[in-house]
Structures are given as C-alpha cells and as structure tokens.
C-alpha cells in the first residue's frame, strides 16, 4: 500500500509540540513534513528559526498543501475552534487535548462522519500507551468486562512521592510543581478532572457509551489527609488515583474516578512516578495490563507520531463499539467498600448512608468509617459541602 505524503500544520510548540518536532527529525522513514507552525506569544524565544512560525491560524487553514492539522496547544477552547475548523475544511486532525475531546465528543464524532475526515487522539489518553488503538482494533470482538487504571501522571507522581518519601500531600504537590509535573493551578489533575476526561474517552472506545463529563463522578487526591495515609502505611497499602468502568450485573456500566487503596498483589501497586497503567478484563483473554509513560515530551510525541503515521494510510477510528451498542446506560446501582474520613461531629449522620459498617474510628480531631455504601449515596455525600471528608475506595462490593 502506498503511503500518503503528509504536510503538517502544527498548532503549539511547547512541551509536546517541540517534542514532536524532534521525534519527526529522527523518523526520516515517515513522509511527514511540518510545513508551518502556529503559536501565540510573539515575544518568546524559540528553539528553531522564526521563519518556521506564524501567529495567524489562517496561514495554516488557507494553505492547500497542508493536509494534516496537529493540535498541541494548552487551551481547550481555542483547540476546539482549531479542530472543528480543520474537520469542516476536510483536513485530517491529530490532537492530544483530552479536555476538549471529552467536552465535545459527540459533536466531534458527528463532524468526522459528516466530512469523512479522521480525528485521531491517542496521546490524549495515557500519552505514550497505545490504549485507544488497541481498544478499537484488538478488542473488536472479545467483549470487555472492565477497564481500570492510573491514567494521570501528575497525581501518580505526587502519590508516589507521598509514599516513597513519607511526605505530606502538600509537600509532595510542591515538589511536583517545582519539577514542572503539576501546574501552578493543579486542580484539573489533583481534582481528578483530567482522569475523568480520559475515562470518558476510554468509555466510548471500550463500551461504546458516550458520556458527558458531568455524568461521571470524579473524586481527586486533593483532600487526602493524615488518617488515610496512616491507614495505608500501617497496612502496607498505597493510594492510587484509579479511573474505572465496568459492566454491572444488569448489563449497564458504572464508571468513576476515585482514589483507591492498592495492595502489593495489585498490578497498579508498582506503577509509580509519571507512569500510567491500565488493566483490561475481557471475556476470553481475561486480564491484560498496559503500562507506559503518561506524560513528557517524547513519550507523548511518540503517540502523536503514531497517529500521524496512521494517517499516511488513511486510518480512522471506526468507533466499532458505538456502532455495536444498543440501549446501554450508566448506572449508579453498585455498592462500594470505602474508607471515609470525616469530622467527629458528622460521624452519626454519615453512618446512616452506609448499608454495612466494618470499622469506625475516632480520635480527638477526626475519624473514619469503613464499610459498604451505594455509589448513589457516595455521590450525594461527595457533593454535600457541609461535610469535610475524604473517600478512598477499598473494593467494589458487588
């Protein structure tokens, strides 16, 4: 099969954009050339000559030789404009922007169909790990029962530091910010939003369900405190931020992002630092485990490169699971065994939301409950701001 020559219009020349430039230099076999690069800040010093850049996006859109748009900017709203304009004008697109993709999933799907152009976004989900292409192609027929994993590198770095170096959450976050792994306003990562956007994308490619971000519960690591760290350390556990989706007994799907205690037997236990790890469980293959770097210039650029390469043979996602699915819905009808840290005065009220209580502890400042609670009750408590609390998942109860 002869491969298309690709002329790329690149948006963004930051961490991943420059990473892609370097990676392409080292991949001469791929007939892909960056023809023009659009950036924002006119005063920034660049790693390559100014003649390579434009500040006007129309220089890229109006260039008939450019047949691929690669969108690697850090602004989800501007990315939406760029990606939709490109698709409407029949240019293939590669993007790494999970927030933008998750917020507009259905519309982006529709635009691809209407204009018969591909939008590929492997780097948006777990950076270097080829999870989307595997879900699309390899798990085409073998039915997925569940997918779960660590999908956010920054929070995994913070949690790794917390456990390896016995740091408090605040100290670990500060170190992550100093190293550039967490942004100055890190709530997108630490609040579990970034993990939720990735879960939404995984949900579409694994179960064919298109959720809206607000449909999926995300509890981040930003409230993790001393009692749950002590509980984990005493029992030889670690806390990981885990995104998961699984089929319920009734055939519907439950999906959420909640910090989880993992023990040494759990495959996620040794997924540390900026690594991501995803476990799939299918009817025939049983469990499979993917692990790889979930952030960084070259790891992320490697997934972008793979998408660009796929475009050279006209690859596009077929969204096979979406086509196969009928009448599947999201369900809160699942019971979870959880650890809930709370204020002393809230103990009695909170206990009423549990169907069973295994352990109840109070010290002079606060306390915790472990026991079984429905996802619906957990969601209600989580959004009730009158409680100062932190949830950590122990296991799925049914």
Ligand X SMILES: NC(=O)c1ccc[n+]([C@@H]2O[C@H](COP(=O)([O-])OP(=O)(O)OC[C@H]3O[C@@H](n4cnc5c(N)ncnc54)[C@H](OP(=O)(O)O)[C@@H]3O)[C@@H](O)[C@H]2O)c1
Q: Which stretch binds ligand X (CB under 6 A): 68-76, 166-174, 196-204, 319-327?
A: 68-76
* Among positions 6, 9, 10, 12, the unique one binding ligand X when judged by CB under 6 A: 12
Degrees to nearest 5, angle at CA 206 with 81 and 200: 40
Number of residues that bind ligand X (CB under 6 A): 24
Is 26 considered catalytic here?
no
| Position closest to ligand X via CB | 14
Cα 83 to Cα 14, 89, 121, distances in angstroms: 18, 10, 11
Q: Which two tokens stand for residue 165?
A: 């170096």
Q: Which one, 225 or 296, has the nearer CB to ligand X?
A: 296
Q: Which one, 72 or 239, has the nearer CB to ligand X?
A: 72
**DSSP track, 164-180:** HS---HHHHHHHHHHTT
Cβ atoms within 10 A of the Cβ of 258, count? 22
Helix, strand and coil content of the chain, in percent to the nearest 5, comes to 40, 25, 35
The DSSP bridge partners found for residue 49 are none
Residue 300 interacts with ligand X (CB under 6 A): yes or no: yes
- Residues 91-110 within binding reach of ligand X (CB under 6 A): 96-97
Give strand ranges (E) for 41-108: 53-54, 68-71, 92-95
Closest distance of CB 392 from ligand X, Å = 26
Residue 74 interacts with ligand X (CB under 6 A): yes or no: yes
Closest distance of CB 178 from ligand X, Å = 16
- Residues 108-147 within binding reach of ligand X (CB under 6 A): 123, 127
Q: Which one, 87 or 392, has the nearer CB to ligand X?
A: 87
CA 204 – CA 330 distance, rounded (Å): 12
- Residues 44-63 within binding reach of ligand X (CB under 6 A): 44
List 91, 198, 240, 260, catalytic entry: 198
Q: Which one, 231 or 317, has the nearer CB to ligand X?
A: 317
Q: Are strands 238-247 and 144-150 parallel, antiparallel or unpaired?
A: antiparallel
Closest distance of CB 126 from ligand X, Å = 8
CA 327 – CA 347 distance, rounded (Å): 40
**Element containing residue 367 per DSSP (H, E):** strand 366-374
* Active site positions, annotated: 198
Q: Could you list the residues that contact ligand X (CB under 6 A)?
A: 11-17, 38-41, 44, 72-75, 78, 96-97, 123, 127, 295-296, 300
């Amino acid at each position: 099969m002869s491969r298309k020559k690709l002329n790329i219009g690149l948006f963004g020349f930051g961490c991943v954009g420059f990473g892609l430039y370097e990676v392409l230099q080292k991949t001469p076999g791929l007939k892909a050339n960056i023809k023009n690069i659009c950036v924002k800040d006119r005063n920034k010093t660049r790693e390559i000559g100014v003649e390579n850049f434009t500040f006007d996006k129309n220089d890229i859109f109006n260039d008939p030789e450019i047949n691929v748009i690669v969108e690697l900017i850090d602004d989800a709203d501007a990315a939406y404009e760029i990606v939709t304009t490109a698709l409407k004008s029949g240019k293939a697109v590669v993007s790494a922007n999970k927030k933008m993709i998750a917020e507009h999933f259905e519309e982006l799907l529709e635009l691809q169909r209407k204009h018969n152009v591909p939008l590929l976004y492997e780097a948006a989900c777990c950076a270097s790990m080829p999870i989307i292409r595997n879900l699309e192609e390899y798990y085409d027929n073998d039915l997925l029962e569940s997918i779960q994993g660590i999908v956010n590198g920054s929070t995994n770095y913070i949690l790794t530091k917390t456990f390896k170096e016995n740091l408090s959450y605040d100290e670990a976050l500060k170190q992550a910010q100093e190293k550039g792994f967490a942004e100055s306003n890190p709530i997108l990562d630490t609040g579990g939003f970034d993990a939720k956007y990735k879960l939404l994308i995984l949900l579409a490619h694994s179960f064919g369900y298109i959720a809206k971000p607000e449909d999926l519960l995300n509890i981040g690591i930003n409230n993790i405190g001393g009692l749950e760290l002590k509980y984990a350390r005493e029992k030889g556990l670690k806390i990981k931020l885990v995104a998961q989706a699984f089929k319920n007994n009734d055939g519907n799907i439950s999906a959420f992002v909640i910090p989880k205690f993992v023990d040494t037997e759990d495959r996620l236990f040794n997924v540390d630092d900026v690594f991501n790890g995803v476990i799939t469980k299918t009817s025939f293959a049983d469990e499979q485990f993917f692990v790889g770097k979930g952030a960084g210039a070259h790891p992320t650029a490697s997934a972008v490169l793979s998408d660009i390469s796929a475009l050279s043979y006209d690859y596009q996602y077929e969204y096979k699971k979406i086509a196969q699915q009928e009448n599947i819905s999201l369900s809160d009808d699942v019971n979870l065994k959880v650890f809930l840290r709370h204020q002393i005065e809230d103990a009695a009220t909170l206990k009423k939301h549990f169907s069973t209580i295994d352990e109840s502890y109070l010290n002079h400042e606060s306390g915790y409950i472990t026991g079984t609670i429905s996802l619906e009750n957990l969601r209600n408590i989580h959004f009730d701001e009158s409680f100062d609390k932190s949830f950590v998942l122990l296991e799925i109860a049914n």
